[in-house]
Amino acid sequence: MSRGPTLQQPSTRFVAGSAWGLAAVLFSPILTMWVTRWSVSLLEAGVLALAAVWSGLMVFRPDQVRGSFALIPLAGAVSMGVVQLMTDHTVNRWATWNAVLLWTTYLASFFVALQVCASAERRAMFRRALLYFAFGLSVVSVLQFFTSPGKVYWLFQSEYENDVLGPFVSRDQYAAFIELVFPIALLEALTDRRRTLLHTAIAGTMFASVLAGASLAGSALLVAEFAAVPLLAAFRGLAPAKKLRPAFISLLLFTLAFGSVVGWTTLWQRFQDPQPYKYRREMLLASVAMAREKPWTGFGLGSFEDVYRGYALFDDGTIVNHAHNDWAEWATEGGLPFAALIVVVALWSAPKAVRSIWGLGIISVWLHSLVDFHLQKPAIAAWMFVLLGAVCAEGHSRTRSKQRREEPADING
């Protein structure tokens, strides 16, 4: 006779449903990146609903819910936005309310991922679902990029002429999403002997799609990931060196071949540009001046655009709604304490991402955010915090396995 779920673990069906639900909720805003508010609203509603279900479980069966240190600074980030509203330290209350809702969603994303990725089997399923989704998106993006410039899915005309890749109207934001997934493809190609060819082709396609968009920082970070993943896999002994070597050579050849198909010329020309980040220096200096004005309270989460115009160092007729540096923007909106909370999360996540290997994309996005504003985009930020939750869950599992191995045997049977 089959046994029901134990008190120590939620039912398998419930956890699986939560995992697939979380994936579906997060795939949707990626597929509708060029759309604004309603896409974000669906993300918020879906993630918060899942978090509410798990929170209910925490009330009735707290032993079934996992915790993590990162929940503290993330909850602190939400709390700081609430304090800004309560003390009227914001120049735009509506924007700050929306930002508080977003950070609550990121907190909930991390929390739910921490629960649903508790088992190795569930983590593998979740990673592969993301991997195959990103692969399909990269194929569509490359085809669309060359056959229908400026249009999303060949149907919807965007404001941009050359940067549209799939639903992304920014090549750098597209690159940031691929940065999150690329290490998963590399590790699968190196360690899954049954699907080496498939995952090698997936990795090559992803690399080529970022190359086609010619994102400078994105391309550089993918190269860094390409070098780091095999080295870490060899160091960790995930596969014998004699098996890693042919897999790596195959991976390199596929990547170079696919890269040659889309062409290296545009990227090379961008690297020759003497001012590849024109105006971003001025935006950064203006952001630093804003942070100095209110270093402890900030101007209010989500209020960068409202305040920036008073500190702008140039005017080319365009609206500057982000600092092109997430860290500087957080410091201007939430003050140095808010930025410090995010620094704590980033520093805490780095060693865990390295140990997992497949989570190296988290570090890449933290670094890429020094020159762009990917984490101001809810679809990308939510995925990053979900992967961070999955990486943390893997760390918990590794710790418990080590503790079980170190426990003395019960000689009394």
Same domain, 17 and 163: no
Domain range for 300: 11-116+278-395
Q: Considering the domain boundaries, does residue 407 fall inside one?
A: no
Can you give the pLDDT of all 413 residues of the chain as single tens digits?
444 444 445 667 777 777 888 889 999 999 998 887 788 899 999 999 998 888 777 666 665 678 889 999 999 999 999 999 999 999 999 999 999 999 999 999 999 999 888 888 889 889 999 999 999 999 999 899 888 888 889 988 887 777 788 999 888 999 999 999 999 999 998 888 788 888 888 998 898 888 888 888 888 999 999 889 988 988 888 766 666 677 777 777 777 777 776 666 666 666 666 776 777 888 999 999 999 999 999 999 999 999 998 898 887 767 788 999 999 999 999 999 999 999 999 999 999 999 999 999 999 999 999 999 999 999 999 999 999 999 999 876 665 555 455 555 443 43
Same domain, 362 and 215: no
Of the residues 246, 277, 308, which one is the last residue of a structural domain?
277
pLDDT at residue 391, as a whole number: 94
Length of the chain in terms of residues written: 413
Same domain, 358 and 370: yes
Q: Select from 339, 307, 310 the least CA-distant residue to 325.
A: 339
pLDDT at residue 159, as a whole number: 78
Same domain, 272 and 384: no
- Work out the number of other CB atoms within 10 angstroms of the CB of residue 64: 18
Q: Select from 230, 251, 229, 252 the least CA-distant residue to 241.
A: 230
CB 210 within 8 A of CB 268: no
Same domain, 127 and 271: yes
- Structural Rg of the chain based on CA atoms: 22
Q: Considering the domain boundaries, does residue 126 fall inside one?
A: yes
The sign one gets for the Cα dihedral 33, 35, 41, 42 is negative
Number of domains in the chain: 2
pLDDT at residue 265, as a whole number: 67
CB 57 within 8 A of CB 10: yes
Q: Is the pTM of this model over 0.85?
A: yes
pLDDT at residue 10, as a whole number: 62
Distance, first Cα to last Cα, the chain: 25
